[in-house]
Amino acid sequence: MKRMLLVMLALVLALPFAAPAGAQPDTLDKIKQSGALTIGTRTGSPPFAYVNKNNEWVGFSIDLVERLVKPEVEKAVGKSIKIEKKESTPQSRIPLLANNSVDLIAETMTDTPQRRESVDFSLTFFYTGAQFLVKKGSPIKGVNDIAGKRIASQQGSTNAKIIREKYPQAQLREFPDQPAAFQALAQGQVEAYTNDGIQLAGLKAKAPNPGDWEVVGDFYSEEPYGMAMRKGDAKFKATVDAGLKHGFESGKYFEIYEKWFGPKGDVPYPTTPQVKAYLLKQIGK
Amino acid sequence: MNYQFKWSVLWSGQSGGWLLQGVITTIEISALAWVLAVALGILSGALRTVPWKPVRALATFYVEFFRNVPLLVWMFFWYFGVPPLLPRAVQDWIFNHGAEFWAGMFALGVYHGARMSEVIRSGIQAIPRTQFEASVAMGLTTFQAYRLVIVPIALRLIVPPATSESLNLLKNSSVALTISVAELTFQTRQIETYTAKAIEAYTAGTVIYLVLCVAIAAIMARVERRFAIPGLIARGG
C-alpha cells in the first residue's frame, strides 16, 4: 500500500516533465505547417474580446490580430493563414502558451515583470489603470476611501495584488469573473468593484441601467496590455511587433481604436494625450 | 513543451503561508459541511425508509431537489439568493462577518447531505426487514428500533461508500472559490498571479488534495475495522 502511494505521487509529480523540454520554439514554422495562427482570447471582456449579441466572437484585441498582426505573419510565412480562437482565462493563458495550444494571447493581459519571466510580450497595445465601479453617490471616490470597506476584485488580477499589499485595511473579496463580481456589487455583498478602468467602463456600458453606476478614482496602478507569446521566439515576436508598429505608423491602429472606443463604439473611452504619447513612444515617436 | 520550471516559487516569499492558510480553510469548511451533511444524511436517509408515506415524500423531495441541481448553482443560491431575504442591517452584518464562508459551508453541507442520504438509505435497505420486525416484536417503538438497531448497523455497512462521498465533499469545497472563499485552490491561483508559475502552483494543489484524501481514506479504514461487529460482515484482507 505504502509503495503504491509513493508510485502514485511520483507519477503526479512527473507529469509536468513528461513532455521533452523543447528546443527553441519556432511559432512561425508551426503556423506555416498548420496554416493557422491560434490565439487565446476572452469571451466576456467587452470590448476587447467577447461574444456579442449576434453570437460572434469579436473585440478590439481580436481586430488588432486580424487586421495588423495577421498580414505581417502572412508575409513572414509566405502564404495566407486563418485565425483560430480559443478561450483563455487569467489562470489558463500561460499554460496554454506553454503546451502549444495557442500561439498568441490577445485579450486583456497586463505586461508585468513576473509574467516576463514566463512569456514574452509584444509592444503595448492599450494602456489603462485600476479604478473603482460604485453605485452612484457612493462615499467611495478613490483608493484612499476603501479602508474597512468590502471591495470586490477579479481573482488573478494585478489590482487584487496591489490592494492586498498596499491597502490591507480593505476587506478584499475575489471573484473568478466579472459577472459574479458585478452581481456582488449590485446586491451589496461588496461596496465597490475594482478592475482596470476600461473594463469597468465596459461593464457599466453593458449594465441594464448604466446611469446607476460610476467609475471613480485616479489610476492607482499602471496596466499596459500586451500580447503574450512563448518565451525566446525572437522571430515571431519581431513579426507581431512589426504588425503593431505598422498599425501605429499608418494610423490603422487608431481607426480600430475609434471603432471600439470612439463616440459610436461599444464603450466610449477616448485616448488621452498621455496615453497616445505612451503608445507612440514605443516606436520612437 | 517550452517552459522554465521554477519549483522554488512554492516555498519562497509568501507562497508557503498562503498554501497553509488555504489548507486550513479547506479543512475548516469541509469539516463543518461534513458534519452538516452526515446529520442531514442520517435524518433524511432514515426518513426515506420509515413506514409513513408523507414523511418519506418529504425526505425524497429534499434528496432529489438538492442533489439534482449543480453545486455551483447552490453556491450562488446561498451567497446571492438567500441574503436579500434578510433585513438590510442583518445583511450588512453578515457581509462584514464572513458571509462567503458560511454560504459556501451551507451549499456544500446541504448538497452532500442529499447525496449522503442515498448512501445511508442503501445501508438501511441492505439490512433484512426481519431485523426491524424483530425489534418491534421485542417491544421497541419505531423510533427506538431505528436509533438502537437499524441506524447503528447501517452506518457500519456504509463506511466504504461514505468514504468516497466524504472525499468528494473535500474536493468539491474548491467550488467555493467562485464566491470568494480563500481555500486551497484559490490560494494556488493566487500563487500563479504573483509568480506567473501556473504549473508549479497547480501541481502543489494537486499533491495537497491527494495527501488529504489519502489521509481521510486511511482514517476511515481504521474506523471501519475498529467498529466492525464480529461475524456480521464478511470481509477480505
> What domains can be seen in chain B, in order of their start residue?
7-227 (1.10.3720.10)
- Of the candidate ranges A71-75, A157-161, B169-173, the one whose mean pLDDT is the lowest: A157-161
**Does some domain include residue A10?**
no
Per-residue pLDDT for A228 more than 60? Answer: yes
The pTM of the full predicted model, rounded to 2 decimals, is 0.77
Is the backbone peptide bond immediately before A47 cis, with ω within 30 degrees of 0? yes
Nearest CA in chain A to B210: A9
Nearest CA in chain B to A153: B180
* A170 and A78 in a common domain: no
C-beta of residue A91 within 8 angstroms of C-beta of residue B192: yes
Spatial CB neighbours of A114, under 8 Å, sequence gap ≥ 6: B194, B195, B196
Mean predicted lDDT score pLDDT of chain A = 88
| C-beta atoms surrounding A34 within 10 Å | 13
* A272 and A230 in a common domain: yes
Contact B83 A189 (CB under 8 A): yes
Contact B214 A5 (CB under 8 A): yes
Per-residue pLDDT for A17 more than 80? Answer: no
B48-91 confidence digits (pLDDT tens): 998 899 999 999 999 999 999 999 999 999 999 999 999 989 99
Per-residue pLDDT for A105 more than 50? Answer: yes
Residue among B80, B83, B210 minimizing CB distance to A12: B210
Distance CA B63, CA B71 (A): 13
* A245 and A178 in a common domain: no
Per-residue pLDDT for A19 more than 50? Answer: no
Pairing, β A57-58 against β A104-105 = unpaired
**Does some domain include residue A158?**
yes
Q: Cell triple for residue B121?
A: 438509505
Share of chain A above pLDDT 90, in %: 62
* A134 and A215 in a common domain: yes
For residues B192 and A182, which has the higher predicted lDDT (pLDDT)? A182
**B198 chain-A contacts, CB cut-off 8 A:** 91-92, 94-95
Q: What is the DSSP letter of A148?
A: T
**Does some domain include residue A203?**
yes
* A121 and A229 in a common domain: yes
**Does some domain include residue A13?**
no
Nearest-CA distance A201 → chain B (Å): 23
Residue B20, pLDDT score: 94
Residue among A13, A99, A187 minimizing CB distance to B80: A187
C-beta of residue B131 within 8 angstroms of C-beta of residue B140: no
Nearest-CA distance A156 → chain B (Å): 5
A191, A221, A251 - which closes a domain: A221
- Burial letters for B127-147: b for 16+ Cβ neighbours within 10 Å, e otherwise? beeeebeebeeeebeeeebbe
* A276 and A212 in a common domain: no
**Does some domain include residue A14?**
no
Per-residue pLDDT for A6 more than 80? Answer: no
| CATH number for position A111 | 3.40.190.10
Contact B80 A189 (CB under 8 A): yes
**Does some domain include residue A17?**
no
Pairing, β A150-154 against β A192-196 = parallel
A203, A221, A239 - which closes a domain: A221
CB pairs below 8 Å between A and B: how many?
104
**B189 chain-A contacts, CB cut-off 8 A:** 91, 155-156
Per-residue pLDDT, averaged over A50-61, amounts to: 92
Per-residue pLDDT for A52 more than 60? Answer: yes
**A20 chain-B contacts, CB cut-off 8 A:** 1
**Residues of chain B with confidence (pLDDT) below 70:** 1-2, 233-237
Q: Which band of pLDDT confidence, cut at 50, 70 and 90, is reported for residue A20?
A: very low
**B76 chain-A contacts, CB cut-off 8 A:** 180
Residue among B189, B197, B210 minimizing CB distance to A156: B189
Nearest CA in chain A to B99: A189
B30-49 confidence digits (pLDDT tens): 999 999 999 999 999 999 99
Nearest-CA distance A67 → chain B (Å): 28
* A151 and A42 in a common domain: no
**B99 chain-A contacts, CB cut-off 8 A:** 189
**Does some domain include residue A16?**
no
* A267 and A150 in a common domain: no
Task: Report chain A's C-alpha Rg in angstroms.
Answer: 21
* A144 and A71 in a common domain: no
Q: Cell triple for residue B88?
A: 438590510
Per-residue pLDDT, averaged over A152-177, amounts to: 90
**Does some domain include residue A9?**
no
* A231 and A100 in a common domain: yes
For residues A209 and A13, which has the higher predicted lDDT (pLDDT)? A209
In terms of Cα–Cα distance, which of A277, A118, A130 is closest to A216?
Answer: A130
What is the number of domains present in chain A? 2
Contact B193 A174 (CB under 8 A): no
A190, A221, A252 - which closes a domain: A221
* A71 and A188 in a common domain: no
Q: Which band of pLDDT confidence, cut at 50, 70 and 90, is reported for residue A271?
A: confident
A137-156 confidence digits (pLDDT tens): 999 999 999 999 999 998 87
Helix (H) or strand (E) holding A1: none
* A123 and A30 in a common domain: yes
Domain of residue A60 covers 24-127+224-281
